[in-house]
Amino acid sequence: MSDETTRPAKPVGGSGPGRDGPMRILVVDDEEIVRDSLRAWFEMEGYVVGVAPGGKEALTFLAEGHWDLFILDVKMPGMDGLELQRRIREAFPLAVIIIMTAYASVDSAVQAMKEGAHDYISKPFDPDDLERVVRNALARRDLEEENRRLKTNIEQMWRFDEIVGRSSPIQEVLDLIRSVAETDSTVLVRGESGTGKELVARAIHAHSRRRYMPIVIVNCGALPDGVVESELFGHERGAFTGAQYQRKGKFELADGGSIFLDEIGDVSSKTQMVLLRVLDERMITRVGGNRTISVDFRMIAATNRDLEAMVAEGTFREDLYYRLNVVTIRMPSLRERKEDIPLLTEHFLERYLRAMSRPPLVFAPEAMDLLLRHDWPGNVRELQNAVERAVVICRGSRIEPTDLPFAGAPAAGPGGRTLADAERVHVEGVLREAKWNISQAARALDIDRVTLYNKIRRYGLQRPGE
């Protein structure tokens, strides 16, 4: 799922106050009489109303806070309604927009609807017409939000079923997911890259009482110190240069749901401190704000790093480590559960055949044999990519060894039989023992460093973690 951080809004009634206070409506029209009468009418109904005589003036209102509903004249001098609508969509993707048009400009109204306006109304109209249009538009918006919420849930459910595996290590993981899902405990998911850590986090959320609320994903590895607080806790308008609008942070968006902190082993010491505080206090303050907001979240974190070693060498806070390490789920590498390879292969094969609308394909026994012998440093993700690639390049009705990415290259591990295979395995082993100290490894191999570099390049050897 892409950054699904938008939480489902609380339902907004057909009219009158909704959300956290009265609904806010902005009316934009160059005719004063229209502005005045709409303002009077909406205020009588209990809405907060802003009016602007043109697009340019409307933009200053946009910067001023949240608006739920916009009523725009399509034909105005300067910036017309269509252009304004685009600007509004950028600032408030979920806002309801209604276009007012004169009989002669129905074409523009149609264009506006294509670009996401909810409805239009022809001038002149009486208040009853407008009320009906507003009610319908709000009801449709609620329906859209409901759909979006349901769709997210269905995807999450489906993803749980996606954890494929019959081997006992993966069955143990599934058992643990089921029992931990019911609790609110912090969960730390560990395992090599591509073993399915994110899948597990989503499954826990999907099976918890929080499943109707969002799971917010934070890639901690990509959080520079300068933006940590505004990303996690949000900011008020004007908190810093460029903070044009108030914005909620990840923790606030996760309120009632779960927050998944991915790559937790890669965070700076500043971020570690910030996280420790929010885990303890369960409160946040937006940057530039002075109100503390309490947030109710379930924390799931993941890492492929050796946190214990990091604690020992002082690069990961011990207190944070203990807060995170309440329940740990260890994802087995694919190497440790090779019996799942045929099942996973079948699963991905079906998925890609369906996605690419291709007729059925099977793996030749020799190709399956290669899959079973491969070492899978990239785990399930590597297997998934290999299957996708095979489906794309396979010409016949059987996937052959040559359709696999590692067919030509020597297999990692003890699989290959050529001299080059043996050399590669040996060089890799010596490098590992020497902790990739090139001079030391070259001495052990009794070759010079340039020759060693050439072999590293030829066999595509990679220092772990690079």
Ligand X SMILES: Nc1ncnc2c1ncn2[C@@H]1O[C@H](COP(=O)(O)OP(=O)(O)OP(=O)(O)O)[C@@H](O)[C@H]1O
Q: Give the interface with ligand X as residue ranges (CB under 6 A).
A: 162-165, 191, 193-199, 304, 344, 380-381, 384
Q: Which of residues 237-296 bind Mg ion (CB under 5 A)?
A: none
177 binds, among ligand X, Mg ion, none (CB under 5 to 8 A by kind): none
Q: How far is the CB of 334 from ligand X (least distance, A)?
A: 9
Nearer to Mg ion, 208 or 379 (CB): 379
Nearer to ligand X, 231 or 262 (CB): 262
Nearer to Mg ion, 198 or 400 (CB): 198
Question: Which of these segments, 68-76, 133-141, 195-203, 454-462, binds Mg ion (CB under 5 A)?
Answer: 195-203
Contact at 8 Å (CB) between 334 and 341?
A: yes
Nearer to Mg ion, 230 or 258 (CB): 258
Q: Helices 419-433 & 438-445, crossing angle to 10 degrees?
A: 130
Q: How far is the CB of 437 from ligand X (least distance, A)?
A: 27
Nearer to ligand X, 49 or 300 (CB): 300
Q: Is residue 388 part of the contact set for Mg ion (CB under 5 A)?
A: no
Tokens describing residue 164:
């494929």
279 binds, among ligand X, Mg ion, none (CB under 5 to 8 A by kind): none
Q: Going edge to edge, which strands form the sheet with 48-52? A: 48-52, 24-28, 69-73, 96-101, 119-122
Nearer to ligand X, 2 or 294 (CB): 2
144 binds, among Mg ion, ligand X, none (CB under 5 to 8 A by kind): none
26 binds, among ligand X, Mg ion, none (CB under 5 to 8 A by kind): none
Residue nearest to Mg ion (CB): 198
Size of the site for Mg ion (CB under 5 A): 1
23 binds, among ligand X, Mg ion, none (CB under 5 to 8 A by kind): none
Contact at 8 Å (CB) between 265 and 303?
A: yes
The CA-atom distances, in angstroms, between 281 and each of 45, 293, 384 are: 41, 10, 41
Nearer to ligand X, 109 or 177 (CB): 177
Q: How far is the CB of 460 from ligand X (least distance, A)?
A: 19
Q: Is residue 198 part of the contact set for Mg ion (CB under 5 A)?
A: yes
Q: How far is the CB of 236 from Mg ion (least distance, A)?
A: 32
Q: Is residue 400 part of the contact set for Mg ion (CB under 5 A)?
A: no
Q: How far is the CB of 454 from ligand X (least distance, A)?
A: 30
- Binding residues (CB under 5 A) for Mg ion: these are 198
